[in-house]
Chains A and B, each alone.
Chain A
Amino acid sequence: MGIINRLTLRTLQGEKGRTILTILSMGVAATLAVASLVGFTSAQSSLYHKSIQDTGGMQVAISNIPRKNVASLVKNGGFEKVVTGSNLGTVKPLSGITDWESDQLPTLTGMDPVALKTLVTPILTTGRLPRTTSELLVPSNVGIKYKAGGVVRLQTINGPKNFTVVGSVTGFHDFANAYTWITYQKNLANRPALVAGSLKNLNRVQANMTALAKRYGVPDPLLNVRFADRALALLGAGSNLRDKATIVTLLAIMLAIIGIAAGMMIYTSINLSVRSRIQRYGLLRSIGATPKQIRKLVYREGVTLILPALVLGYAAGIGGISVTMATLNQYFTKMEIDIHLYLAISPWPLVGSALFMILITFLASARPAARAAGVSPLAAVRDNLTTPKLRRRQLKPGIWGRLAPTPLSRLAVKNYRRSGGVRWTMIATLSISIMIFVGFTEFARTVLRDVSNDFDPVADISGDGYATQSIAKPLAQLKTTPGVADAFAAKTAGLELSKRPTGFRMSDMTAWIVPDQVLKNQFDKKTTLISTTTRVYVNGQRRIDRNLPASFQGDLQFKKYGTIHVDQTITPNNILYRTVGDGLVISESQYARITKDVKLESKGNPVRYAVTLTNKKDHAAVFKAVQQIFPGNGWDSIAGDQTNKGILTAAQLLVYGFLALLSLVSLANIINHIFANLLQRRRQLAMLQSIGTTPPQIAGMLAIENGLLLVASLFWGSVLGTLLTMVLLNQLSGVYQVGFRLPWLEIGIVAAVLLVVWLIFNFVSYRLVRRQDIDHWLRLN
């Protein structure tokens, strides 16, 4: 073992208490780094796994690949897993479909059982997978006619053919325009194929896959390469470059915060130990240690301390994250939230956090090391070389000095004032610690609070359906469904104003066509304009906004439909009306009259409905029942709210966990500061005792010194922390609308914690002074 290592180890062993304290503090910092990186990657991969479920784990889907190229593309495309399907031509409904609005005809895709299971199971909303070539899945937004069991006649490449509908799939997934009408097909047909797969390498995935598709003969006009974008975005591989930038920025900010807090704490530890060893460095210099050797000694000490701290950090960080995740998973299960967090222990966060902490240690040791290397050999004999140069001003009694009533308190104030540079370094680092705590905690609290109440309320269950006849019956069914408290449903028709009176922000409007009975009971038989309000933000101010006038009465001119007289305008408080939204409520018979007058032929209308529940717990069952009445896209806002709430809770837990660790690092810094200072001054204290100062007097003196230090730090830290919050919130003002408040709570917490630390310090210093062997410290040199 080299002399530098030996000196380092002996020194650390010789000051066991302090070494352990330092390792523990560094361990907290390392825990913070490990937990943040592991937590970040775990959350990232958990959310990725959740998102990628929608596409059965497949990241990309390429359509229209010439049949002859499929085998080589599958082999050479760099896929990890791959499934295929056949493009069986476009879907041209011949019968069984009464309303067809899309201008682009969708594709009929044939899939083998594996592809069906992989790609279709996750998007199946009703029914089951097709098992024969004459069974069909249809997109759920197509409407009421396609209930399971119905027969559809489609034009296929082999001529007209009857299919039995066995279920529906959601139209909302990342591969939606690659497959929505799906049937069974055992082997690849001699037709252009669909290849969906997950990739070994996600580098430049967008460009690579598009190039691949072209290389394998997909003609430009038919080029259709879809990506599981939401999932890929979580890995920073989405098509949106800003997602990647966001992830990188988030990580960078997190690491910067950890770096500053940890760096400062480590700087304090190393700096204090260097200060206490000036004489020793002088001695080593005088017997021939080179500045480089001294510098190495300091760096070595830092590294020797950070290594066990890292072990602690790994244990506590990974352990902490596992426990947190297990707790969250339990909570998610209880709340019926479909999220499961996995611990992702990949090498880079582990190696990264170690390298990061070592780097921070090196950076934090640089100044103390330079200071140590610059110690004159004379420091070995001249103790006074270590005392700072005092200015005249510092020798005069300051305001505190004049106020101090006893000799010892006057001495305390003198000590405080004359500690010059040391004092300012201490106040600066303590203030920054406090600033980080106050600033980020208040910032996180504000953002989390504001995000959590930032949604406009909607009815418990809402959605779209389709109706060809009066919806009086389905509405009655809806209202009598067990668990439903109230319901509202209306057929819709798109209206376009030919003249826009004041207050109408857009020409497009919707007609809410309700059963005559509903208009009579609920709207007083009046043709009613529903004008809802939304909360918007303008220049950081919350404001109520609407797209229709708050009060309107009179005639409205529409294209195609002609003139409709509006009897009244209401701003609904009713959550059902609010959910269905802005529109003109007319009765079914009036609608029939108008369409007849203007010779508009309507085969059917889309339906909007909204439902409130008697008991919110029944949401899943009611949702299912409602889907039977109105197949189509539905929104279970209870489930959605729970998911939102769950995610918010998880985010809060993680953010507060992060802040708690961050505060611990800052606290360790403060404790390190004042206790190291105490240990360093034992000789001076022994001297004071030897000339007849009592232990309470000495403890009192120390209490005053540290009190002044903590008060100054609290002051500056709070001021800077408040400013930091303001700056951060200001930065975010474009994204979240958040208001600034003075962070009294955080300042209060800091003050309370500092008070406790101060009291503990007083107790410890009193005990230490009372018990110390004066003779021992006076002899020591």
Chain B
Amino acid sequence: MSILTATDLTKQYSAEELPALDHANLSIEAGEFVAIVGPSGSGKSTLLHMLGGVDKPTSGTVHLYDTNVFQLNETQLAIFRRRQVGLIYQFYNLLPTLTVEENITLPADLDGQKVPEKEITELLAILGLSDKRTALPTTLSGGQQQRVAIGRALINHPAIVLADEPTGNLDQRNSQDIMDLLRAANTKRGQTLVVITHDPDIAAQADRVMTITDGKLTGGEPDGDH
């Protein structure tokens, strides 16, 4: 069953330039691990942001289950993001004034939910941050910070996790750790996962690879080249 579908998704930043994303069609199945690859400036981030409801398309639609994402108003869209989408950035984008635990539970807090203690300890253990629970982000290494960001993306059990070059800023070893984590979430928790990457090794671990060149997407449908 496909949980996320995008139809004729187009983003044009200015009339003079070619569209950053040109009539992209894709659908993603529940529990799938999808990699998106393509050269720099080809429109990968643009696509990801629209799938996550962070940016709005010039035309086209995105459906999550039966919800037409861009028909939601600002508040509904915000609630949609915090419940259904987990976003991970290349730069970890943590709040420097919150502790590791507080950063992780932030989306739940914003939703007025209390995360059970057991779940937090478990998640921290999986992330390898048990001893860093009350640390502030500035005292963490890059890899550790990215793991906090992953925790934050997973905390609300979103329908889909979108990661934009999550390892782009990390060394080889840390990169593999992060990918292991994400894959574990995918295999053990059945977490649907979309990862943008430059790294062929990472792309190779995915169930399916989509490619973007100059805003044109190929491999968007599951029955495509996979």
Which residues on A are within 8 Å of B, measured CB to CB? 2-3, 6-7, 10-11, 13-14, 280, 283-293, 376-378, 380-381, 780-781
Contact = CB atoms under 8 A, between A and B. Distances in A.
A718 to B, nearest CB: 41
A289 B83 CA distance: 11
Contacts of B109: 2-3, 6
A289 B110 contact: yes
A277 to B, nearest CB: 10
7 contacts: A14-B96, A289-B78, A289-B82, A290-B78, A377-B55, A381-B45, A781-B92
A780 B97 CA distance: 13
Q: How large is the interface on B (under 10, 10 to 19, 20 to 34, 35 or more residues)?
A: 20 to 34
A3 B93 contact: no
A422 to B, nearest CB: 23
A2 B74 CA distance: 22
Contacts of A380: 54, 89, 93
A543 B55 CA distance: 75
B220 interface: no
Given A286-B52, A289-B78, A381-B89, 13 more contacts: A283-B93, A285-B78, A286-B81, A287-B152, A288-B85, A288-B110, A290-B74, A291-B78, A376-B54, A377-B55, A380-B89, A381-B91, A781-B91
Interface in B105-124: 106-107, 109-111
Contacts of A286: 52, 54, 81, 87
Contacts of B83: 288
Contacts of A290: 74-75, 78-79, 110
Interface string B52-91: 1011000000000000000000110011111101010101
B111 A288 contact: yes
Contacts of A285: 54, 78
A53 B152 CA distance: 73
Interface in B186-226: none
Contact of A292 (B45, B75, B87, B152): B75
A287 B110 contact: yes
B143 to A, nearest CB: 14
B98 A10 contact: yes
Nearest to B94: A283
A291 B74 contact: yes
A2 to B, nearest CB: 8
Contact of A288 (B49, B78, B96): B78
Contacts of B54: 285-286, 376-378, 380
A293 B55 CA distance: 19
Nearest to A14: B97
Contacts of A376: 54-55
Given A287-B81, A288-B79, A378 B55 contact: yes
B67 to A, nearest CB: 15
Contacts of A14: 96-97
Nearest to A13: B97
Given A286-B54, A287-B87, A293-B110, A280 B95 contact: yes
A377 B138 CA distance: 23
B140 to A, nearest CB: 12
A293 B74 CA distance: 12
Given A13-B97, A280-B95, A287 B106 contact: yes
Contacts of B79: 288, 290
List the 3 closest A-B pairs by CB distance, nearest first: A288-B82, A3-B109, A10-B97
B22 interface: no
A380 B85 CA distance: 15
A285 B164 CA distance: 17
A550 B177 CA distance: 108
B8 interface: no
A562 B36 CA distance: 121
Contact of B95 (A283, A288, A780): A283
Interface string B132-144: 0000001000000
Nearest to B75: A290
Contacts of B52: 286
Contacts of B75: 290-292
Contacts of A10: 95, 97-98
Contacts of B81: 286-288, 377
Given A284-B110, A287-B82, A380-B89, A6 B102 contact: yes
Contacts of B87: 286-287
Nearest to B81: A288
A381 B93 contact: yes
B28 to A, nearest CB: 20
A293 B112 CA distance: 11
Nearest to B155: A287
A781 B93 contact: yes
A13 B97 CA distance: 8
Contacts of B98: 6-7, 10
Contacts of A377: 49, 54-55, 81
A633 to B, nearest CB: 74
Nearest to B106: A287
Nearest to A3: B109
Nearest to A383: B91
A376 B49 CA distance: 11
A780 B138 CA distance: 8
A370 to B, nearest CB: 13
Nearest to A380: B93
Contacts of B55: 376-378
A267 B67 CA distance: 40
Contacts of A6: 98, 102, 109
Nearest to B89: A381
A229 to B, nearest CB: 60
A387 to B, nearest CB: 16
B110 to A, nearest CB: 5
B65 to A, nearest CB: 17
A313 B110 CA distance: 34
A250 to B, nearest CB: 45
Contacts of A284: 95, 106, 110
A285 B107 CA distance: 10
A611 B54 CA distance: 90
A781 B95 CA distance: 10
B110 A381 contact: no
A638 B114 CA distance: 77
A84 to B, nearest CB: 69
Contacts of A781: 91-93
